[in-house]
């Protein structure tokens, strides 16, 4: 009888340990994914602030990619003279 109850106890402990490890692994993965998303969000905010600062310095809006490209081309052309 004691042997059977010991087997049940060991089985329950093993199952609980496996479940705990699974929860830890999942939590680590979720934390890593959240961290990556926060970094992407932060990079986007930094880029937005850089564009805003450039717009204020230049005195006009750089909303379109074509306008941004034109400004970069003009800058490069001016630097190469």
**pLDDT surpasses 70 at 79:** no
- Calpha distance 2→73 (Å, rounded): 83
pLDDT digits (tens, 9 = 90+) for 4-53: 889 999 999 999 999 999 999 999 999 999 999 999 999 999 888 888 88
- Taking residues 62-75, report their average pLDDT: 78
Q: Where do we find the tokens 């106890």?
A: 9
Residues 69 and 75: beta-carbon distance below 8 Å: no
The pair of structure tokens assigned to 56 is 């204020």
Q: What is the pLDDT of residue 81?
A: 55
Instruction: Compute the Cα dihedral for 6, 12, 15, 19 and give only its sign.
Output: negative
Question: The pTM is what?
Answer: 0.55
- Taking residues 45-64, report their average pLDDT: 79
């Amino acid at each position: 009888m004691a042997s059977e109850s010991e087997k049940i106890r060991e089985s329950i402990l093993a199952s609980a340990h496996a479940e705990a490890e699974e929860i830890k692994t999942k939590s680590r993965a979720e934390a890593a994914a959240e961290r990556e998303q926060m970094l992407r969000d932060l990079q986007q905010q930094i880029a937005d602030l850089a564009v805003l600062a450039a717009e204020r310095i230049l005195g006009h809006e750089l909303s379109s990619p074509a306008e941004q490209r034109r400004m970069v081309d003009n800058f490069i052309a001016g630097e190469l003279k």
